């Protein structure tokens, strides 16, 4: 079990990156960290891995307190692996050699079996004997993922692990990788901008803003009950509409995803269509509601300036 308790960090007295971060990661659990660029996601992973010293608070693995470079000649922890965004590979050796670099050569058959097991996970078997310098960015990232898994870590830290990978391959890779981690009971913390990493696969989601965790919970809880527009915006297009425009006697604003606004035959709430965007299995309708732009999912397209009736479905 990994426990991060009241951790704060800054690069100088004037620049604080993280404040009072507390979270728990159980064995085999996948935790997603969501937040905009510069919010401290990557810094938190580096602190967990021991690349920097913690200014306040502490990090524990089971009962062991994890320390930074002031206390360790070689930063990092033997039971943990960290894959940064600038993944480092050996360009002039093969894919298989990169994955097996830190595996023992005493039992070569066992080593080769392990290498090809991991190449299967990241769908890179057919590139096993290709030199890394000849791969695309996405292929290199898949090799880097296999490499950090080679020595069977207890905890895996991934920073934007699919950022270079094509969309058509990304979903299959996610299923393979996170399924493998679950089967091996490997804890995983992923810093990501991609909500699919969090919604479809994470056990828990933590959203970071202004140096702090502002929301934590199960993916469906966070998605279905976002406290702010900022939180909702990580998962979908989002509307923030004054309740009074929706004929609801309540102060403040309603936070609604486009699928929660329905176009109906008739209602007291009218809006004027401005644009229709084809999204594959539906249209995204941009409309004007009393000078407020709103977004609505629809099965059909509508003409510009067409008057529509809408209803809210929570």
pTM given for the model: 0.90
167 — pLDDT class (breaks 50, 70, 90): confident
Q: What stretches of the chain show up as alpha helix (H) in DSSP?
A: 41-49, 95-99, 108-121, 137-149, 167-183, 195-199, 219-224, 229-232
Structural domain spans, the chain: 2-232, 239-312
29 — pLDDT class (breaks 50, 70, 90): very high
Q: Tell me the pLDDT of the chain averaged across its residues.
A: 92
Residue-wise pLDDT for 58-74, tens only, equals: 999 998 999 988 888 78
Residue-wise pLDDT for 252-270, tens only, equals: 999 999 999 999 999 999 9
The pLDDT of residue 222: 94
The pLDDT of residue 296: 97
Do the domains at 2-232 and 239-312 have one common CATH topology? Answer: no
Domain at 239-312: CATH code: 2.40.50.140
Longest dimension (CA), the chain: 77
Residue-wise pLDDT for 190-241, tens only, equals: 999 888 888 888 999 999 998 999 999 999 999 999 999 999 999 999 999 9
Domain at 2-232: CATH code: 3.40.50.300
Residue 264: φ, ψ to 5°: -120, 170
């Amino acid at each position: 079990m990994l426990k991060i308790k009241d951790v704060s960090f800054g690069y100088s007295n004037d620049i604080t990156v993280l404040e009072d971060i507390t979270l728990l990661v159980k064995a085999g659990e996948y935790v997603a960290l969501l937040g905009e660029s510069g919010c401290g996601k990557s810094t938190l992973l580096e602190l967990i891995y021991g690349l920097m010293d913690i200014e306040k608070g502490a990090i524990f693995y089971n009962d062991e307190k994890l320390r930074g470079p002031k206390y360790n000649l070689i930063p990092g922890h033997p039971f943990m692996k960290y894959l940064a965004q600038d993944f480092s590979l050996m360009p002039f050796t093969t894919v298989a050699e990169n994955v097996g670099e830190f595996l023992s050569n005493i039992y070569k058959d066992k080593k080769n079996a392990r290498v090809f097991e991991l190449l299967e996970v990241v769908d890179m078997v057919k590139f096993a004997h290709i030199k890394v310098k000849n791969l695309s960015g996405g292929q290199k990232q898949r090799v880097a993922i296999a490499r950090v898994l080679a020595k069977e870590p207890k905890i895996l830290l991934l920073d934007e692990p699919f950022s270079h990978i094509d969309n058509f391959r990304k979903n299959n890779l996610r299923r393979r990788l996170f399924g493998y981690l679950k089967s091996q009971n490997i804890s995983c913390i992923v810093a990501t901008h991609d909500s699919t990493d969090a919604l479809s696969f994470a056990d828990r989601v933590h959203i970071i803003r202004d140096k702090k965790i502002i929301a934590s919970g199960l993916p469906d809880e966070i998605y279905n009950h976002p406290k702010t527009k900022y939180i909702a915006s990580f998962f979908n297009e989002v509307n923030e509409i004054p309740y009074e425009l929706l004929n609801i006697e309540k102060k403040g604003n309603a936070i609604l995803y486009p699928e929660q606004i329905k176009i109906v035959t008739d209602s007291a709430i009218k809006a004027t269509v401005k644009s229709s965007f084809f999204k594959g299995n539906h249209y995204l309708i941009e409309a004007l509601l009393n000078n407020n732009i709103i977004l609505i999912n629809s099965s059909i397209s509508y003409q510009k300036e067409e008057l529509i009736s809408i209803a809210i479905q929570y």
